[in-house]
Amino acid sequence: MGRVVLLQRRVLRELPPFTVVFLRVAIAAVILLPGLWIYRLAFPRGLSGWKPFFAVALFNNVLPFSLIVTGQNHIPSGLASILNATTPLFTVAVMAAAGEERLSVRRVAGVIAGLIGVMILHGEGLGLASGEGLGILLCLAGASSYGVSALIARRHLIDTPPLATATFQMLASVLMMTVVAAVVERPWQLPMPGSATWLAVLGLAALSTAFAYIVFFQILRRSGATNVMLVTLLIPVTAILLGYFVLGESISLREIAGALVIGSALLLIDGRVPKLTRRGVTPERTSTPKASP
């Protein structure tokens, strides 16, 4: 996931934001479509069958992709990663307000701790400058949109196969983004981008969209909305690891500390480690030996 912010930053050098989103969802839809025939998954019937997929597409693709990619034009990539990492906070709030998941102190504390870990990772690299307020608001709006999409998917698409959900909501996204990009940016009038930009777009569409959403909806079915959104906390960690192994960049003690805080936060939110700890300290009951006759 850490590659998303980096790839989007590369693509935005040559393409406007709505065109980037259109290409991302269109290529992802083309990649996913053959799976429907391979696994013999039927298309939804009628407007009522498509309605939940359009709703998920709006809040899971069209709005967050467009808002975040536009916000990245106004703020640094590091700050964009931190704002994207607030997604679990919004998801916890949305699911609790809708009565879908219990709002526990442990989960809220874990999400806040994870966000602190992300901030530690970036350290002094945030650098708020004048005029960045709009970019911050756009990225926060995109993060909150993911929480709404998780609620809709949980209520209306929980029994739909993950591949079908990913494909149908992607097709709905293509239809909406075709209209938006055509009206606002007229991409057919833009100069042809270079090969590096096309490779970055393909990476966004294939790995960070098509494959990622199959995994996303599978985790949503098994583990719930809040847990599936926790992956956003790992985005900055993955970016740092990619920089170390691929680009040969060094890792500082501050970055190691931030990664450890994020890991601890994920364990806290998951809840199984605290439960095992409590079980381990529970004193065993000892039976009083009976007196022999």
User: Predicted confidence band at 287 (pLDDT cuts at 50, 70, 90)?
Assistant: very low
pLDDT digits over 269-286, tens only?
Answer: 666 555 556 655 555 444
Q: For the segment 198-234, what is each residue's pLDDT rounded down to a tens digit?
A: 988 898 888 878 888 888 888 787 766 666 666 666 6
Distance of CA 46 to the CA centre of its chain: 30
For the record, the structure tokens of 163 come out as 């591949």
Residue type, 208: S
Tokens 């911050």 locate to 136
Q: Please give the backbone phi and psi of residue 166, each rounded to the nearest 5 degrees, phi first.
A: -60, -40
Query: Helix count (H) and strand count (E) of the chain?
Result: 15, 0
Q: Which carries the bigger pLDDT value, residue 77 or residue 201?
A: 201
Residue 252 to residue 233: CA distance in whole angstroms = 19
Q: Say if residue 178 is exposed, middle or buried (CB neighbours under 10 Å; 0-12, 13-18, 19+).
A: middle
pTM: predicted TM-score of the whole model, two decimal places? 0.76
Residue whose C-alpha is closest to residue 122's, from 267, 240, 7: 240
